[in-house]
Amino acid sequence: MGMGSDDVTETFGAGFLVRWLAAVAEDVDREADRLTELDSAIGDADHGANLKRGFAAVTETLANEPPATPGAVLTTAGRQLISTVGGASGPLYGTLLRRAGKALGEDGEVTRERLAEALGAGVAAVSQLGGAQVGDKTMLDALVPAVEGLRSSYEEAGAAAEKGALATVPLQARKGRASYLGERSIGHQDPGATSSALLFAALADTARAEGV
Ligand code: ADP
Ligand code: MG
């Protein structure tokens, strides 16, 4: 590590992903009220609380039993989210991380490119589980461009996710609770796309802090 993000052979181990998810937990904790506010406009006002509970449990589990490989970090985190978060976002984020972890396999060190590929598989699984596509005003509007951006750099992933989340504002929701509102869902940023942007902002922050 520490050779710069333009070095394509740069690798990271389990610890990097543990620190990423700890950063996510911190950011979600700080932004919980905002996520809940967004969900109160077009949902049921629980998105902040859902993710706060979920990622706190993830952090605790990873601290108590640190997995040995990057893949195991993601599968453990995904399983924890599914069992802790009741709302739609728990199984969806859980599936994202579990499927990505499975794709990373048993390797002790992986590259950003492998992570992008693995998260790509995770995003496909989220789309399959929830039946949503880009443009339906869901977390996929941030996740899909984020994973695409991750093929270039951590920075690009964070920026693309943020842009995707902002782009949900003028859309009408076609999936999830917000879709019950029909046209009244227009003009509000999707809570799940917003939390997905937090995930990738935290990844970019962690990579920058560690010189990955
Ligand atoms: P719930 O909707 O059960 O209250 P949350 O409030 O935690 O769950 O999460 C809501 C978010 O989940 C939405 O903003 C949206 O981004 C995401 N979501 C809901 N349904 C789907 C789906 N079918 N596919 C992808 N994302 C979805
Ligand atoms: Mg909700």
Annotated domain spans of the chain = 14-210
**Residue range 170-202, pLDDT digits in tens:** 999 999 999 999 999 999 999 999 999 999 999
CA distance linking residue 175 with residue 158, whole number of Å: 24
Q: What is the reported pTM?
A: 0.96
For ligand 1, atom 6: residue with the closest CA: 47
CA distance linking residue 153 with residue 196, whole number of Å: 17
Which ligand gives the minimal distance to the CA of 178? Answer: 1
**Residue range 77-90, pLDDT digits in tens:** 999 999 999 899 99
- Residue 9: the pLDDT is 65
> What is the dotted CATH code of the domain comprising 14-210?
1.25.40.340
Q: How far is the CA of 43 from the centre of ligand 2 (A)?
A: 5
